[in-house]
Each structure stands twice: as C-alpha cells, then as structure tokens.
Amino acid sequence: MIPKEESIDNAFARFNTINTSLKALDEDFSSKNYFRKFLRALHPKWRANVTAIEESKDLTSLSLDELIGNLNAYEMIIKKDSEMIKGKREQNKSLALKDKKKTSDEDSLTSDSEDEEYAMTVRDFKKFLKDEKDW
C-alpha cells in the first residue's frame, strides 16, 4: 500500500519502478491491469476518487497522463482543504485566547469595582463609628 503522506508523483514513480522490474522478469500487465493495480495500491483516502475514475472512464481507453492528472488534481484539492481546515483551527485557537483575555479583563473590572465597594463600606463604617463616639 502507498503511504498516506506520499505524493501521487512519487507513488507512481515507485510503482513504475516495480513494474519495470516485473517486465524484466517477463511479468507484463495490460494497461487496464496496470492502472487497476496502481489504483488498488493507493491509500484508502483515495477510495472515493478511485471509484469515480473507475465508474466514469473505461480504464482501457484512459491514458496514463489523464489518470495521473486526475489524481494530481484530487491531491491538490485535498491539500488545499487540509490547509484551510488547519488555518481555521489556528484562527479558532486565537479567538479562544482572545476570548479568555476579555474574560479576565472583565473579571479584573469586576474585582476592581468590588474592591471599591468594599473600601467605601469600610469608610462609611469608620464614619459611623466616629459619629457614635461623638454622642
């Protein structure tokens, strides 16, 4: 199986090397079987695209350039989507951090107003005690 991280171009180059070695051993495949074996060796993340290719096109009439071009286009879409998702995650993380900062600012404002209220209460109480002594 071709690893998930490997690009289509690298995977096809490796597959082609293996196929060339098999030809040297008199094991030759028809183009249809050649394509099928390559498509079957792809990582499961490619399953949807492989199925679409097999259903929409006759593998005997499909050229190698068309197949690789189709897979490269799909690979670029996958990369773009994953980068977009990664960017959104980073954006959400920064929003979460900003939100926490606002919350702590609000807490400090609340804390400051509570401190002022406490100080005012103590001051009023001291005044009250002073007034009581004057009686």
Instruction: Answer yes or no: is 23 within a domain.
Output: yes
Give the domain range for residue 44: 8-108
Instruction: Answer yes or no: is 90 within a domain.
Output: yes
Say if residue 52's pLDDT is above 80: yes
**pLDDT for 74-122, tens place per residue?**
889 888 888 888 887 777 776 655 655 555 555 555 677 788 888 888 8
Instruction: Answer yes or no: is 129 within a domain.
Output: no
Instruction: Answer yes or no: is 118 within a domain.
Output: no
**pLDDT for 17-26, tens place per residue?**
887 888 777 7
CB contact at 8 A, 77 and 69? no
Instruction: Answer yes or no: is 48 within a domain.
Output: yes
Q: How far apart are CA 47 and CA 40, in angstroms?
A: 9
Q: How far apart are CA 21 and CA 15, in angstroms?
A: 10
